Amino acid sequence: MPSTPSSPSSINVMATLLNGVAKAAVTGGDAAVEAYLTAQFPVLASPILSTLLDGLVSWLGSFLSVDLQNLVTILVIDVQTNGEKSAVYQAALAVVAANKTGDPVAIQTATTNLISAWQGLIQWDGSASAT
């Protein structure tokens, strides 16, 4: 018995995964920056300055994390949509070429391929198709 597709989702699995990696990189970078600064300026290791340094580095890291995550999301979506647009474009060119030949079988095949390419733009789970 075929399963019914779930309702569309706005979650992009690849972007979510890469955003997690970006966030982890920034979080790890925070610790590296703090270690570097305290090694260069030992006075920053004092309890009060250490707390202030930790807060400052975390605050700056949160801005970098958000910007990096936004960049990753934009790049992932751009790559995915470029692939989808390319598949639709190639299928549309095939329809034009088939129409020029006048062969009804070729026209039907090219039209079916174009419909499939268009359907690849809309996934039930909200993800982009791999074309």
Cβ atoms of residues 124 and 5 within 8 Å: yes
Give the number of domains in the chain.
Answer: 1
pTM over 0.95: no
> Mean pLDDT for each 10-residue chunk of the chain (131 residues)?
51 74 78 88 89 88 79 77 74 89 91 81 54 46
pLDDT tens, residue by residue, 93-116 = 898 899 899 899 999 999 998 888
The answer as to whether 3 is a domain residue is no
The answer as to whether 107 is a domain residue is yes
pLDDT score for 106: 92
> Where on the phi/psi map is residue 126: left (φ > 0), alpha (ψ -120 to 50), or beta?
left
Cβ atoms of residues 12 and 77 within 8 Å: yes
- Its domain, for residue 106, covers 13-119
